[in-house]
Amino acid sequence: MDDFFPLSEDEQLKIFNRIYQEITKGKTPDIKNLQCQLILGLPGSGKSTFAQKQSQEISFVHLDSDAFLNYHPVIKTLMQIYPQRLNGKDSSSLAEDPEIYQFVENAFYYLDDRLERKGYSIVVDALLGGEIVDYASEKAMAGYKTDVTLISVPKPILDCNIVERFFNNRKQEVYHPRAVLRLPPELLKDFDLDLDYLAEKQLPITVRNGDGKILYQDNGQTEECQAAEFFWQEYHRELSTKEKIELNKRQYRLMAQAQTPYERAVVRGLNLDGAKNIYSANNHGQFR
């Protein structure tokens, strides 16, 4: 690894400047109307897709941390050193490497600072966590009209999305660093705690389903934010007959892509009926 790291400050700046030029191409800043939209949710919920739609406005720039990996000069070599992992909180040891994490973090904050100084509005999609919640508060204090959107989808659909993304990664030169076959229970527990932390910040919050439909809105002024309740309600929602039929079709296609006994077992175990499971409201008190 010593042959690859660390990148010098000058090398990083050259990369970050290139990213800046690419993400601001065709965009026009509007310093009088600064907005920051954070699109948050669990892995596989469609955050990036929704963020891309939101960033189509001419003054909005999409900050996608996962995409920054593509700019690392030896990323393809690193993909061989850090193979995609079948399971685990971070899915691959690449995501755990401190140098890679620092590269992505440096890119994010360099670009964010430069976009702010130039007067661009920002769309960020991320896994909900304490650091991103603090970032949202800081943007609000910096004068940005800051809104948070939580994307929630029923667990059976989320599980299917996650397996599908994992299999699709095999076709990519640079795989998604957090593609897993299954979400670990501790991630859900942490997510629930972070929902409470987000509510404490009294920021405007909108909960949407996977189709973009608004399930709940809070302007940040209410005494008791119910965003978490609506988020988990959609997560535990029983699927419609149409949704079950579509998921069964997807399960059939995924089984054809499975390459190992473990992968086939995961696909067979997809809970496509929307029944209660170990993450159900009956079994995890803090999950509403």
What is the rounded CA–CA span in Å between residue 103 and residue 89?
Answer: 20
pLDDT tens for each residue of 33-56 = 999 999 999 988 999 999 999 999
Residue 19, exposed/middle/buried by CB under 10 A (0-12, 13-18, 19+)? middle
pLDDT band at 259 (very low <50, low <70, confident <90, very high): confident
Q: How far is CA 101 from the centre of its chain?
A: 15
Walk me through the domains of the chain, giving residue ranges and CATH numbers: 9-155+173-237 (3.40.50.300)
Residue 5, exposed/middle/buried by CB under 10 A (0-12, 13-18, 19+)? middle
The helix/strand/coil state of 124 is strand
Residue 246, exposed/middle/buried by CB under 10 A (0-12, 13-18, 19+)? middle
CB 59 within 8 A of CB 29: yes
What is the rounded CA–CA span in Å between residue 258 and residue 69?
Answer: 26
pLDDT(200) > 70: yes
CB 98 within 8 A of CB 1: no
What is the rounded CA–CA span in Å between residue 256 and residue 224?
Answer: 47
What is the rounded CA–CA span in Å between residue 45 and residue 142?
Answer: 29
User: What is the chain's alpha carbon radius of gyration, rounded to the nearest angstrom?
Assistant: 20
pTM of the full structure? 0.85
pLDDT(204) > 60: yes
**How many Cα atoms within 13 Å fall on the side-chain side of residue 75?**
20
Residue 134 in tokens = 């603090």
pLDDT tens for each residue of 134-193 = 999 999 999 999 999 999 999 999 999 988 888 887 766 555 555 566 777 888 899 999
pLDDT tens for each residue of 67-105 = 888 888 876 666 666 655 544 434 445 555 667 778 889
Q: Give 218's strand partners.
A: 205
Q: Give the chain's mean pLDDT.
A: 84
